[in-house]
Structure 1
């Protein structure tokens, strides 16, 4: 597959930056990365305040959350290609500007529709930022340091959502929901100043034209598929709009693949997926993201509704997972060098599946111990798989295509996240409603509709009822929630286990992993020599 990976050496990025500057570049890029990753989750804790202040309906709240990820995922591939073509530093600064402007606008939004529109703009900015952060890391660091730098990038990517949740929870203790966007604006300003000061410039030296047709097909296909994934649990999978999104998106993506196989300079060459490391890394990130995003979605509700934690306390309760990610991440590249990609990725996915299995044992009366143990195991597995999977994707492609490689990594992460929330959300809803059905005779008839709709509505109704009727309704809702959560965690464990089996078949062994690293060292040396 050398013909697939071949490409001209990349022109040095304003000379070879020294060690101190490389570290400064990584720090600045991690700030920008955390800024956009944290926004995926942090707003969840502010939704009640937004609903009260803006009068947003449940559907509007759903789109305030999902419009960001929808545009984010859809624009990643063309944004990565544009960065390769016109300059990664410039694209990064433009993305920070767009994201910062949207955050500033949100400080003054007074209608749900305006906030949704600003979230769309922020998603476009995030799509311009995320692939640039990773591609600049991979083109700035020499191959022998790249795995460690990518491990730090991956740790921030995995832990940034939780850190954003903690910061948002802390802000909401004393300020309004607008403070969350104020934090994003402040991070945008800091990121922009840092990028201007220390980040080198780089681009594809061949200067090939951007594949416009491929870009349009990828945007339409990804946006339509993600729309169907997001709306499926809410509207129902047989809803006309959901079916149209799924079918139309699939048709557009098939057309994208066929077009990319024919065009001279494709946006993303489908033949890249013949490379074992590239395809294995993509599978790992999709399946791991299904589990991770689904876990956040379910556990945050569990901690707040069943354990009565505040948003800040709920975030702190998940800290062991972030600590495990930080502690284990440095070991991942060392293990890959010693054992090979196949062994490390397969074991890591099995570790995540075991952690999900532990979390599937939780119920409404569980203590904090099993939850902490399960999240620590999941965090260790995440640390072992995400950095090597990311590195395997970017290491499989030549330096000139690092923007596209980074975009593929990010697309798989975002689509996996949307799929995780949709699939695990559906599994949870099925388990929850089944649990309510088991207690139907114990629930007052006038409260049954509220109990079936959501645990939030059930607990609010129970509080209004009061007395023994309210206590029975609350107990039934909590039991049903635990049943739904157990089902969702088991589905997550099965998804991750399936990913482990796929990696076992696709990923290269130790000898090929070492050969891949050596080739990247040669390419990076050639790039620095010009």
Structure 2
């Protein structure tokens, strides 16, 4: 007896058909992704208006992504269990309410808390977008649906920055949150009217230990990176954070191997498509959102662009990503995932390395060349990585597959912002001139804490201002190029790893995530990958691994 794709399998689409489902899910997707990037445009304003330090700015940006990364996997499993649309709509309500409170913030601490709650809402939204698409679309259209989703996931960051840039031209940074709240309500309504309710047909016990260990590992790791840069890498709380992250990862693996109902079976990472796809998505988003964090400040502080002008300057990325994502499935079928995925990472690495050649007097054209190269890499990597993850799991685990894809994206985003923000900040501070001590202590502290603050001080310093502004810009570029060097190296190593482990052809592995031991299994003629469905049966998962390597 075969298990149906989802419990209400007779209802394949909502009122708008498959196009309506794609529209509703991509709208919610863009809201989540845009909220990661949109606030980056307002970071210079926040540094001045709220007196935010570089560390506070990092937490304002990363509080959202940390919560999203830590909770997206368990909340994806919850959506599989109780209904993906139900959780997505509730997430939009939570997101919108937190955005309203964020718009009323008057301190960095309050804003950080609101961003964390928005991240919780985003973690409820994100898994349902992709899992609903893959559950509703027929097999012959699924790859194209995933490619469209991947394109909007990448382009959504640019869309968010364009909207934020337009708002900041006329209003304060608070307008970003008011607009986000209104958009969240529109997303909830679109999902209610256009998307069907889908859920897994398999009933299994929720893995609370797995949810706790994965959330703890992500949160502790990012906390250690951010606070280590700000307070010192040998501080007891920083060392404790890294120790907690390591123990949580080890506990996740041990408990996952022993559990009869694991949130995500650790052995699935030995599947070549699943492992390579996760790695590619992780490092791609490390690069993309780490770049946005410092790249937007380059456009505003070094090139002197307005927020809207800065967002428009990044449009070439979206212009390259969307068409590249659409044609990537055909390239993968012709050339193989093993060729296309590493090529995408190398294109992206090349774009980041190109940025290391910039200096304070560089104009926009060199920056544009890097954007085009990076955009091609993003399109190739995102589509192949997402398809590899989704195709590695069966239809009843599409919520977890989507959540794993989202987890890789958001963990990458959180680590990328934390890592590149930390590298940037440390090199910026070390490159500042020694004669800052001649300035009043409060003024010197402002310059030390952020480049935006330093340029604001220089603008009001009189005769000493131009020299200080030049020094701040040079220090900024030292931090900027160092951050790009680090991420380019990481991308190159990841490309080599994916070339070694990615499946040769872009076929579907469909090694379903484990199901309860009492569930009905596939018919006898099912392939080895389709037989890997019984949780607690080590041999079933090993069959899937063997089939994947054949």
Distance 2:276 2:391 in 1: 12
Show CA shifts across 1:318-357 (max 9, x none).
Answer: 1111111122111111101111111000111111111112
Match of 1:181 in 2: 177
Q: Greater CA deviation, 359-368 or 444-453? A: 444-453
- Whether contact under 8 Å (1:50, 1:56) holds in the other structure is yes
Distance 1:403 1:416 in 2: 19
The 5 Å alignment of 1:225-374 reads 225-374=221-370
Q: How many residues align?
A: 512
- Whether contact under 8 Å (2:226, 2:419) holds in the other structure is no
Gaps (5+ residues) in structure 1? 1-5
Match of 2:148 in 1: 152
Show CA shifts across 1:131-157 (max 9, x none).
Answer: 111111111112221111111111111
Q: How much does 1:371 deviate?
A: 0.6
- Whether contact under 8 Å (2:55, 2:226) holds in the other structure is no
Match of 2:65 in 1: 69
Match of 1:99 in 2: 95
Q: Under a length normalisation based on structure 1, what TM-score does the superposition of the two structures give?
A: 0.90
Q: How much does 1:493 deviate?
A: 1.2
1:387 to 383, 386, 392: 383
Distance 1:7 1:381 in 2: 38
Q: How much does 1:21 deviate?
A: 0.9
Q: Secondary structure at the match of 2:127?
A: helix
1:471 to 457, 466, 471: 466
The 5 Å alignment of 1:207-218 reads 207-218=203-214
Distance 1:23 1:93 in 2: 19
* 1:58/1:321 CA distance change after superposition, 3 Å: closer
Q: Secondary structure at the match of 1:159?
A: helix
Q: Secondary structure at the match of 1:208?
A: coil
Distance 1:363 1:295 in 2: 16
Q: How much does 1:12 deviate?
A: 5.0
1:446 to 420, 423, 439: 439
The 5 Å alignment of 1:400-479 reads 400-436=396-432, 440=434, 445-446=438-439, 451-467=447-463, 469-479=464-474
Q: Greater CA deviation, 393-402 or 293-302? A: 293-302
Distance 1:300 1:338 in 2: 37
Show CA shifts across 1:410-447 (max 9, x none).
Answer: 1111111222223223332344345435xx47x78337
Match of 1:125 in 2: 121
Q: Secondary structure at the match of 1:329?
A: helix
* 1:65/1:276 CA distance change after superposition, 3 Å: same
1:166 to 156, 162, 165: 162
1:483 to 475, 478, 486: 478
Distance 1:368 1:111 in 2: 34
Q: Greater CA deviation, 152-161 or 500-509? A: 152-161
Distance 1:346 1:61 in 2: 33
Distance 2:13 2:112 in 1: 41
Q: How much does 1:263 deviate?
A: 0.8
- Whether contact under 8 Å (2:272, 2:503) holds in the other structure is yes
- Whether contact under 8 Å (1:68, 1:120) holds in the other structure is yes
Show CA shifts across 1:277-333 (max 9, x none).
Answer: 000001101111121112111211111111111111111111111111122111111
- Whether contact under 8 Å (1:147, 1:388) holds in the other structure is no
* 1:370/1:46 CA distance change after superposition, 3 Å: closer
Q: How much does 1:473 deviate?
A: 2.2
* 1:82/1:505 CA distance change after superposition, 3 Å: same
Gaps (5+ residues) in structure 2? 514-525, 531-550
Whether 2:495 is the aligned partner of 1:493: answer no
- Whether contact under 8 Å (1:233, 1:422) holds in the other structure is no
Distance 1:470 1:477 in 2: 10
Q: Greater CA deviation, 472-481 or 134-143? A: 472-481
Q: Greater CA deviation, 375-384 or 321-330? A: 321-330
Distance 2:221 2:104 in 1: 32
* 1:192/1:429 CA distance change after superposition, 3 Å: closer
Distance 2:425 2:471 in 1: 15
Distance 2:326 2:234 in 1: 45
Q: How much does 1:236 deviate?
A: 2.4
Distance 1:237 1:143 in 2: 49
Q: Secondary structure at the match of 1:94?
A: helix
Match of 2:509 in 1: 516
Match of 1:3 in 2: none
Q: Secondary structure at the match of 1:514?
A: coil
* 1:494/1:60 CA distance change after superposition, 3 Å: closer
Q: How much does 1:449 deviate?
A: 6.0
Q: Secondary structure at the match of 1:352?
A: helix
Show CA shifts across 1:152-196 (max 9, x none).
Answer: 111111121221111112112222332211211221121111111
Distance 2:362 2:22 in 1: 41
- Whether contact under 8 Å (1:464, 1:470) holds in the other structure is yes
Q: Under a length normalisation based on structure 2, what TM-score does the superposition of the two structures give?
A: 0.87
- Whether contact under 8 Å (1:233, 1:426) holds in the other structure is yes
* 1:93/1:254 CA distance change after superposition, 3 Å: same
Show CA shifts across 1:92-130 (max 9, x none).
Answer: 111112112222333444555443333222111100110
Distance 1:77 1:8 in 2: 23
Distance 2:10 2:52 in 1: 49
Q: Give the superposed CA RMSD.
A: 2.7
- Whether contact under 8 Å (1:10, 1:205) holds in the other structure is yes
